[in-house]
Amino acid sequence: MIDIKAIRSQFPILDQKVNGHPLVYLDNAATSQKPLGVIDALRNYYLESNANVHRGIHTLSQIATEQMEAARKKVQRFIGARHDHEVIFTKGTTEGINLIAYALTPLISEGDEIIVSHLEHHSNIVPWQMLCERTGAVLRVIPMDGNGVLQLDFLEKILNEKTKIVSVNQVSNALGVINPIEEIIAMTRRLSSAWVVIDGAQSVPHFKIDVQSMDCDFFVFSGHKMYAPMGTGILYGKEAVLEKIHPFHGGGEMIHTCSFEKTTYAALPFRLEAGTPNVGGNIALGAAVDFIESVGHSFIQEHEEALLAKAQKQLSEIGGLKIYAEKAPRTGVVSFTIEGAGIASDAGMILDKMGIAVRTGHHCTQPIMDFFNIAGTVRASFAVYNTLEEIDVLTEGVRKAKRMLL
């Protein structure tokens, strides 16, 4: 039996008052709070072993290198990758997707097709539009229905031999919808030879990931949404695919030999990690993996399902709320508007006065907002340290916001 109090005690930031009320932090889809284990890992690195990695033969440099490579191995195990050199440190999902889009550029030609879904974050749209501009490739979109469910019969129609990349998220940050990526990947394999990119920014904090059984070519996520420091992230790629792609950044750490006539590149993973990495952050990302594993995926999933079910039930009982994608399989997020109550940020400000942190707006997913013909939603998003009592506070807060705004 896992005790939420014991989990919360690892997050001292939660134990404070905001605007005179106990903080209820429900903006975890934007960034999660960090447990002491992560903060200590970062602090200990700077207190005891700060040095640049891979370059020095001195002791601190060796320790820093060993600690960072140990974190890489932890991530490898955490996501089920075959090799540790398939795990590339980045500064987040955005950098990961841009890296892929640049690295694949020489392999994309005019008239090739790239498929994303209507449920994507801007960072899984814009890098592909830029790739299309560079190459003359065409961007196509898997549509969704009114429940926020992707229409796979349409994907089946648009997949063909010109499809080079299919890039979708496993979980939508704006609505919390869990996408059927197993079916999307199987269909893509059957009907094309495209590379599959999975944006796992919102799934890694909630689910056990196994990139080998998933059979994606790339899997990207951010550290900061899974209890790790800001400015950390992971790009996983299958060895055979990473061997084939062009480096994204050129610079130190990524060369084998360098002369003015010709430079040869280092082996994986360093070929894709130019420059000095975020050593302390990457080590602390390993500590975030330790935290998640210490709590356990089954507890995380069970508890977060209970939070979502309670929020869904209580918010819909208020009446006059439109909850988006409420019939779709979801995790971690309730996204709603109060009907007739103007813009979402008004409700967000009232909730903040009560110490409740939610996000309002378009959540970097304007195409989803356009689909529903709204400017934004109020989004409450959960992490393992949230309590069922906090859902009561949220419900009361929304009830009050509705009274004030109507």
Ligand X SMILES: *Cc1c(COP(=O)(O)O)cnc(C)c1O
Helix, strand, or coil (residue 387)? coil
Single-letter amino acid, residue 173: N
406/403 Cα distance (integer angstroms): 6
Ordered DSSP codes for 46-78 = IIII---SSS--SHHHHHHHHHHHHHHHHHHHH
> Which span sits near ligand X by CB under 6 A: 52-60, 87-95, 106-114, 295-303?
87-95
- Comparison of 222 and 395: residue with beta carbon closer to ligand X: 222
Contact 262/242 with Cβ under 8 angstroms?
no
Q: Which of residues 292-351 bind ligand X (CB under 6 A)?
A: none
Minimum CB distance to ligand X, residue 387 (Å): 23
> Which span sits near ligand X by CB under 6 A: 88-96, 142-150, 208-216, 292-300?
88-96
154/164 Cα distance (integer angstroms): 17
- Comparison of 93 and 135: residue with beta carbon closer to ligand X: 93
Q: Which of residues 107-146 bind ligand X (CB under 6 A)?
A: 121, 123-124
Contact 377/174 with Cβ under 8 angstroms?
yes
- Comparison of 199 and 390: residue with beta carbon closer to ligand X: 199
- The enclosing H or E element of 379 equals strand 377-381
366/363 Cα distance (integer angstroms): 8
Minimum CB distance to ligand X, residue 348 (Å): 18
- Comparison of 164 and 379: residue with beta carbon closer to ligand X: 379
Minimum CB distance to ligand X, residue 363 (Å): 8
- Comparison of 361 and 397: residue with beta carbon closer to ligand X: 361
Strands 263-265 and 255-258: antiparallel
- Comparison of 49 and 222: residue with beta carbon closer to ligand X: 222
Q: Residues 167-206: x/- map of binding to ligand X (CB under 6 A)?
A: --x---x-------------------------x-xx----
Contact 184/166 with Cβ under 8 angstroms?
yes
Query: Pick from 41, 79, 92, 394: which binds ligand X (CB under 6 A)?
Result: 92
Minimum CB distance to ligand X, residue 146 (Å): 21
Per rule CB under 6 A, count of chain residues that contact ligand X: 12
124 closest CA partner among 193, 225, 222: 222
Helix, strand, or coil (residue 28)? coil
Verify binding: residue 247, ligand X, rule CB under 6 A: no
351 closest CA partner among 364, 336, 368, 372: 336
- The enclosing H or E element of 233 equals strand 233-237
276/377 Cα distance (integer angstroms): 39
Minimum CB distance to ligand X, residue 124 (Å): 6
Helix, strand, or coil (residue 271)? helix
235/272 Cα distance (integer angstroms): 10
Minimum CB distance to ligand X, residue 29 (Å): 6
Q: Which of residues 207-226 bind ligand X (CB under 6 A)?
A: 222
Q: Where in the sequence numbering do the catalytic residues fall?
A: 364
- Comparison of 173 and 386: residue with beta carbon closer to ligand X: 173
> Which span sits near ligand X by CB under 6 A: 1-9, 92-100, 175-183, 316-324?
92-100
Minimum CB distance to ligand X, residue 31 (Å): 8
Buried b / exposed e over 357-388, threshold 16 CB at 10 Å, is bbbbbbbbbebbbebbeebbbbbbbbbbbbbe
Query: Which tokens go with 387?
Result: 């309590």
Residues that bind ligand X (CB under 6 A): 92-94, 121, 123-124, 169, 173, 199, 201-202, 222
